[in-house]
Amino acid sequence: MNWETEISSSGEDAVVRGEKLENVMEMEFSDAIWLILKGEKPSEEESELFNTILSSSIDHGVGNPSTVAARTVQSGGNSMNTSVAAGIMALGDSHGGAIEEAMRILQSDKTAEHIVKQYLEESKRLPGLGHKVYKDEDPRAVKIIEKAETLGLAGKSIKKIQGIRDVLAEEKVDLVLNVDGAIAAVMTDLGWEPELGKGFFIIARTPGIVAHVREEMDEKPFRRQEGEYIGK
């Protein structure tokens, strides 16, 4: 089988998206991520905002599914790569996956009113809104939106998701714009495709998962959670 790719080459003259590898090595890591995913270098403003986005999701405590999964698998005596993979596999529609869905609705031609009506009729949760911890505001989302506005990169998608939030508040419940929603809006305004939505979260959260796995290595093996049998 002959694989063909526009992403990178190997060997003495290795390139990444047309850039010599030694030149990529001089770039900030977040800029190199932008380059390999999008095929072009970010502007100075895009670079600053993208770095903020990646840093916003690097970790968020022990209680989320990906961290619990990674640490639990590590406690069973597995390797770093197996444990980290378990954490990544725990990411789903309710944990890290909302970015992709939110990007899709933001990039649709549907109005905020139409979107809210559809989701309420189908009894589905609107992606990018609500959080179990943050009730008044998600500070990560606030920071991302403020940074986009300061850098002159805030566009119609930010206004659209804020509009969705306002309509939902009028129709049913007032929920905070969470970090997934903020990332979805900003990355849409920057011209990114929804298919990479979950990828952003995977890239950002992996260092946190690695840190938790390393910490778990120093704990007693085979952590057992308490459980209560409620069957008959």
What pLDDT sits at residue 224?
78
Task: Kindly give the confidence (pLDDT) of every residue in the chain, 232 residues in length, as a single tens digit, with 9 standing for 90 and above.
Answer: 888 999 999 988 999 999 999 999 999 999 999 999 999 999 999 999 999 999 999 999 998 999 999 999 999 999 999 999 999 999 988 888 899 999 999 999 999 999 999 999 999 999 999 987 878 899 999 999 999 999 999 999 999 999 999 999 999 999 999 999 999 999 999 999 999 999 999 999 999 999 999 999 999 888 877 888 999 8
Residue 228 falls inside a structural domain:
no
What positions carry a catalytic annotation? 131, 180
Q: Decide: 170 and 117 in contact? Cβ < 8 Å.
A: no
Residue with tokens 């380059």: 35
SS3 content of the chain, % helix, strand, coil (to 5): 55, 5, 40
Residue 7 falls inside a structural domain:
no
Residue 89 falls inside a structural domain:
yes
Residue 5 falls inside a structural domain:
no
Predicted TM-score (pTM) of this structure = 0.92
Q: Domain count for the chain, please give it.
A: 1
Residue 51 falls inside a structural domain:
yes
What is the extent of the structural domain holding 51?
17-216
CATH number at residue 120: 1.10.230.10
Phi and psi at residue 207, in whole multiples of 5°? Answer: -60, -40
Residues 170, 201: Cα–Cα separation, whole Å:
30
Q: What angle do CA 6, 203, 141 make, to 5 degrees?
A: 120
